[in-house]
Amino acid sequence: MAHHQHRHRRRDQKIQNLPQVIVLLPPGCFKFLESGYSHKFHFLKAWESQLPLDQFLSSHAGSVQAMLSSANGPLISAQILRMLPSLRLIVTTSAGLDHVDLLECRRRGIAIANARSVFSEDVADMAVGLLIDVLRKISVGDRYVRRGLWATNGDYPTLGTQLGGKRVGIVGLGSIGLEVAKRLEGFGCIISYNSRKQKTFTPYPFYSDVHELAANSDALVICCELNEQTQHMINKSVMLALGEKGVIVNVGRGAIIDEKEMVHCLIHRDIGGAGLDVFENEPHVPQELFTLDNVVLSPHAATNTLGSTMALYELVVANFDAFFSNKPLPSLVVNN
């Protein structure tokens, strides 16, 4: 018995000497991380604690230097950062940084590493999938068959819309937007885009004004990041410019679109349809959308493939390894 306790104590001491990483809520790749690297890092799992978050942080995390965060976790606010006085690194499993208080990180000198473009191709696949689903009514047809309506009512009564030849406006021509463009070119779509700055490396027509892009597009695919400039960038007047046959696909962040206005536009057929992987107040989705057959809904799943989860997990480990051995971070995005 005494021997047993002794062994336990030794193991606890060993764990305490490992570099600590605080995790508020586990991202999708966490189970790989935990099973593969618990011998190397001591993960402080805030979500498993009985204590309220602020108490957990103030009693356990005073010396923690590194944090793992994700877009579906709690906001990394100035208030949370204040309870982590030793924090010097945030590794996030998202490409976007909209869940992190960047000003506070700069003030404190906290570096940030992200998912780089690990999921760009998966997210682009999802964007194209959603667009095809809205136009060709795949999910609607699936519901029609499952409800037994094909046998009783005959063929589904509404025609779909061709993808080929459609003018697709890409909002945000970063790594995801470029993959979307590449794919949709293959379907015979005509690509143009809006972004902060014109990209010199691409021949696609550039619109500096998203309203003008919408007026010249049959579909908008939202691939940009969420920040102060892009919040509610897709507002009512942009949607009206897109028009009653126009389709919006959003694989960026919910708040890039004024969601209330979008729901209104969809109900009143001011726009033709929407394929949405992201929402303003996840996991809450406006109930009005549930009955609309011109809308396809997805639970923020564009990055959820085994392939990109494994690639992400390796990138996360590489960042923590580099940080704790004072080497350059592989996917450093904000170097404060």
Ligand X SMILES: *[C@@H]1O[C@H](CO)[C@@H](O)[C@H](O)[C@H]1NC(C)=O
Nearest residue to ligand X on Cβ basis = 235
Cα–Cα distance measured from residue 135 to residue 133, given in angstroms and rounded to the nearest whole number:
6
Contacts of 11 (CB under 8 A, 6+ apart): none
Min dist. Cβ of residue 257 to ligand X (A) = 11
- Residue 264 phi, psi dihedral angles, 5° rounding: -60, -45
Q: Is 238 in the site for ligand X (CB under 6 A)?
A: yes
How many CB atoms sit inside 10 A of residue 112's CB? 24
- Which residue, 110 or 271, is less far from ligand X as judged by CB? 271
Q: Enter the tokens of residue 238.
A: 């942009």
Q: Is 210 in the site for ligand X (CB under 6 A)?
A: yes
Min dist. Cβ of residue 217 to ligand X (A) = 14
Scan for tokens 């998966």, then name that residue.
122
Stretch touching ligand X by CB under 6 A, among 74-82, 179-187, 232-240, 242-250: 232-240
Nearest Cα residue to 225 out of 262, 277, 172 = 172
Sign of the alpha-carbon dihedral angle for 232, 233, 234, 238: positive
CA 288 to chain centre: 23
Size of the site for ligand X (CB under 6 A): 6
Task: Using DSSP, state whether 221 is helix, strand or coil.
Answer: strand
- Which residue, 64 or 238, is less far from ligand X as judged by CB? 238
Min dist. Cβ of residue 208 to ligand X (A) = 10
Q: Enter the tokens of residue 157.
A: 């009564």
How many CB atoms sit inside 10 A of residue 208's CB? 11
- Residue 327 phi, psi dihedral angles, 5° rounding: -110, 165
Stretch touching ligand X by CB under 6 A, among 6-14, 23-31, 39-47, 231-239: 231-239
Stretch touching ligand X by CB under 6 A, among 62-70, 184-192, 230-238, 305-313: 230-238
Min dist. Cβ of residue 235 to ligand X (A) = 4
Q: Which of 55, 153, 208, 237 binds ligand X (CB under 6 A)?
A: 237
245 close to 219: Cβ distance less than 8 angstroms: no
- Which residue, 119 or 193, is less far from ligand X as judged by CB? 193
- Which residue, 76 or 238, is less far from ligand X as judged by CB? 238
Q: Enter the tokens of residue 278.
A: 């992201």
22 close to 61: Cβ distance less than 8 angstroms: yes
- Which residue, 111 or 239, is less far from ligand X as judged by CB? 239
Q: Is 171 in the site for ligand X (CB under 6 A)?
A: no
Q: Which residues are catalytic?
A: 253, 282, 300
Q: Is 233 in the site for ligand X (CB under 6 A)?
A: yes
Stretch touching ligand X by CB under 6 A, among 13-21, 119-127, 222-230, 235-243: 235-243
Q: Which of 216, 235, 304, 305 binds ligand X (CB under 6 A)?
A: 235
Q: Is 211 in the site for ligand X (CB under 6 A)?
A: yes
Nearest Cα residue to 210 out of 187, 243, 233 = 233
Q: Enter the tokens of residue 213.
A: 């892009």
- Which residue, 105 or 238, is less far from ligand X as judged by CB? 238
Secondary structure letter of residue 147 according to DSSP: T
Min dist. Cβ of residue 196 to ligand X (A) = 12
| Residues in contact with ligand X by the rule CB under 6 A | 210-211, 233, 235, 237-238
